[in-house]
Amino acid sequence: MSTKLDVYRFDPETDQDPSRKQYEVDLPEYGTVLEGLLEVRDAQDGTLSMRCSCRSAICGSCSMKINGQSRLACKTLISQIEHEGETITVDPMGNMPVIKDLVVDMDSFWDKMKTVGPYLKPEGPEPERENLVSNDSMMRLAVAMNCIMCGACVSDCTVLEVDKSFLGPAALAKAFRFAADPRDGHTEERLKSYVEPSGIWDCTRCNMCVQACPKDVEPMERIMDMRVMAIESGLTDSRGARHVEGFSNSVKHSGLLDEFALARKTFGFPKWGFELAPFGIRRLLRRRLPPIIHKGISTAKRVTRIFERLGV
């Protein structure tokens, strides 16, 4: 099966700007993108640089953008993506500096991973035997423990494209794995650090990390889990928590969202007026300003009863 690969090329020692180069490889139907790249490197162009190791979707080192989406090259069958175009495009991961060709600098990835304290911090005397926990407790963590730290979720994160200080989906998914572990004795301390700016409340829930993850860790869902944990722990004095509370209360009592009240609740008074003034002026000029006087729906009491039944 003849396949065309359109590969990103950049050598900082010789190139001023990145370029692209096309290669044609002959692979069996079960061939992967990684096998195609290895064929290029071994038989056509030995200068091509990339990372790979296990070839079994375990080590995570061959993560790269394939046809615009972050994937593991060793797990991506060419036959499965042929319908996406005659030529397969291969690029280095996003949101990380390129070292050479398909190799990126992952220092920021590992630095943020260290920031969340990716290890258990038990409290009290050292146990005399293994610390047994319930099966249900560990099942909750099982999905997060599947992370192979390939960086695909970070590569496709839309928040990191505009805010490099954001901890990112991989680090926060790892943070959940330890914050939710019943053997850890510093859950509250962890959550206090995660609700700070650049933490769990900065995720925009774009779902890109969920789509990119090759191990179904669903990092965005783990971030949402920690938001719930933070609120239940009483950590409600943050912009994100106030936004959730204001949104919920508005719909609960009127059946509709009161956008003005939500802004006041989220940002606080009088700060909300100063921060949102430019945005409000733009909406006013475009005639998209919400009603100043909020009116609920006629069946608001039914909505309230739904909230009460759910215990919200």
d(CA 51, CA 67): 18
% of the chain surpassing 70 pLDDT: 98
Residue that finishes a domain, picked among 175, 208, 232? 232
Let me know whether 122 and 227 are in one domain.
yes
Looking at the fold, whether 112 and 228 belong to one and the same domain comes out as: yes
Q: Please indicate, yes or no, whether residues 71 and 114 belong to a single structural domain of this protein.
A: no
Instruction: Based on the fold, state whether residues 115 and 217 are members of the same structural domain.
Output: yes
* Range 100-104 average pLDDT: 98
Rg of the Cα atoms in the chain: 24
* Beta carbons of 6 and 89 less than 8 angstroms apart: yes
With CA atoms as reference, report the closest residue to 180 among 142, 150, 125, 219. 142
Smallest CA-to-CA distance from 164 within 205, 209, 119, 111 is with 111
Domain end, chosen from 68, 86, 104, is at 104
Read off the pLDDT of each residue in 177-195 and give the average, rounded to a whole number. Answer: 95
Each residue of 193-236: pLDDT tens digit? Answer: 999 999 999 999 999 999 999 999 999 999 999 999 999 999 99
Residue 272's pLDDT band (cuts 50, 70, 90): low
**How high is the pLDDT of residue 260?**
83
How far is CA 286 from each of CA 45, 231, 279, rounded to the nearest angstrom? 55, 36, 11
Q: Which two tokens stand for residue 193?
A: 């650090």
pLDDT greater than 80 at residue 123: yes
Phi-psi map region of 70: left, alpha, beta (phi>0 left; psi -120 to 50 alpha): beta
How confident is the model at residue 267, as a pLDDT? 83
Helical (H) or strand (E) element with 21: strand 19-26
What average pLDDT does range 261-265 have in this prediction? Answer: 85
Q: In this predicted model, which residue has the larger pLDDT, 112 or 239?
A: 112
CA atoms within 13 A on the CB side of 39: 16
Whether pLDDT at 274 is above 80: no
Amino acid 213: pLDDT = 98
pLDDT value at residue 271: 66
- Domain end: 50, 85, 104, which one? 104
Co-location of 85 and 200 in the same domain = no
Q: Give the C-alpha distances (Å, rounded to integers) separating 198 from 4, 119, 147, 149, 194.
A: 40, 21, 21, 20, 8
For residue 273, what pLDDT band results from cuts at 50, 70 and 90? low
Specify the pairing of strand 69-72 against strand 87-91.
unpaired
28: domain CATH number is 3.10.20.30
pLDDT for 80 beyond 90: no
Q: In whole numbers, what is the pLDDT of the chain averaged over residues? A: 92
Stronger pLDDT, 260 or 142, i.e. the higher one: 142
Average confidence (pLDDT) over 291-312: 89
Per-residue pLDDT reduced to its tens digit, 139-179: 989 999 999 999 999 999 999 999 999 999 999 999 999 99
Domain tally, the chain: 3
Least Cα distance to 157 among 146, 149, 167, 169 occurs for 169
pLDDT of residue 293: 87
Using the predicted structure, report yes or no on whether residue 310 has a pLDDT greater than 70. yes
208: domain range? Answer: 107-232
Query: Which tokens is 246 given?
Result: 């204001």
Q: What is the pLDDT of residues 28-47, one digit of tens each?
A: 889 999 999 999 999 999 99
Q: What is the pTM of this model?
A: 0.88
CATH number of the domain that 177 lies in?
1.10.1060.10
Residues 60 and 121 in one domain: no
| Number of CB atoms found within 10 A of residue 290's CB | 14
CA distances from 250 to 202, 241, 261, 273, 304 (A): 22, 14, 8, 19, 10
In this structure, the answer to whether residues 33 and 134 fall within a common structural domain is no
- The reported pLDDT for the residue numbered 275 is 74
